[in-house]
Structure 1
């Protein structure tokens, strides 16, 4: 079948219109971004009366990205300081010293939002009972590393810990967040901050 240049141009225009229309549908399907409070809210409030916010065992200030244990040094790092809602933030904890240390496992972390009343975990239980994150002492060798890739949306954050029924409430909102690893035994917690943007 012979096609003229005019036929091909017409088909190209229709294809372009179809692509624009599809892109609009994808944007709509992806949602409108973070729906929670913006900036630095006074506190985090959940309308579900059964919601019991996680309260991680963080005593004292959260150190930066480097801490010394009695035997070694730990380093927490992340890629970037700002992430878009729905994208992933990658965080890695490494033993950069010369000896093993002890940790409470890979789930001994908090994802917190900065509020006027302090840092609060965005997660909690909706069962009406306090949720306990799984923790068990384990050796963290000099070659050891924990790596987390956390998609920044409510369902991914809530389901990141296996066999634990958690929710994020209120929804995530644009503002300053941080990842805190509090499971280093005999050492202060480490934290990295990042801005969640729409």
Structure 2
């Protein structure tokens, strides 16, 4: 083998291995492998003018990371208050990008962070869209409320606490629906 051909083949293999390693690492960002360090007893909104934002999915049919041909990933598994989490959905088709919940793990299970004004419907439209979506979710009370479809009637209640959070997208269509139509990714937040 000529020296030039050897360098080219070794160089290509190194680049391919480096790219493969990057892709494998990014694919692992579905949820932490360990139990959370902090689990609050509850997450209760004491304001009577607000009700907990409804979950748009069946918890028994929720899939971590992948459902059929749809998948969701988060760019990191640990954040500090005020950081921005980037969540990426890949799917050939999906419902609209407003079909999501963001929840905190408590001693009683997963609880939605958002509350909606009593008697104000937080409905979503039912349009179908080709391709995936990317959410940039600022991990603050205002950032989460502003990312919501009806920011004028939604708030995070009570304030965020340190713990394990998960983002659930419940608009998966097509083959992804075989997995229940909902995918989730989890991460820790230090407040």
Q: TM-score, normalised by structure 2?
A: 0.71
Map 1:182-193 onto structure 2 (within 5 A).
182-185=170-173, 186=177, 187-188=179-180, 189-193=182-186
Gaps of 5+ in 2: 1-36
**1:128 to 2:128 alignment:** no
**1:39 to 2:38 alignment:** yes
Within 1, Cα distance between the matches of 2:71 and 2:171? 13
Pair 1:135–1:118, CA change in 2 (3 A): farther
Across the aligned residues of Structure 1 and Structure 2, the Cα RMSD in angstroms comes to 1.8
Match of 1:194 in 2: 187
Check whether the contact 1:54–1:131 (CA below 8 A) recurs between aligned residues.
no
Gaps of 5+ in 1: 1-37
Match of 1:152 in 2: 139
**1:178 to 2:177 alignment:** no
Within 1, Cα distance between the matches of 2:120 and 2:113? 14
Which structure would you say has the larger Rg? Answer: 1
The structure in which a higher percent of residues are helix is: 2
Deviation track 1:55-88 (CA, whole Å, cap 9, x = no partner) reads 21221142111110xxxx0111111100010010
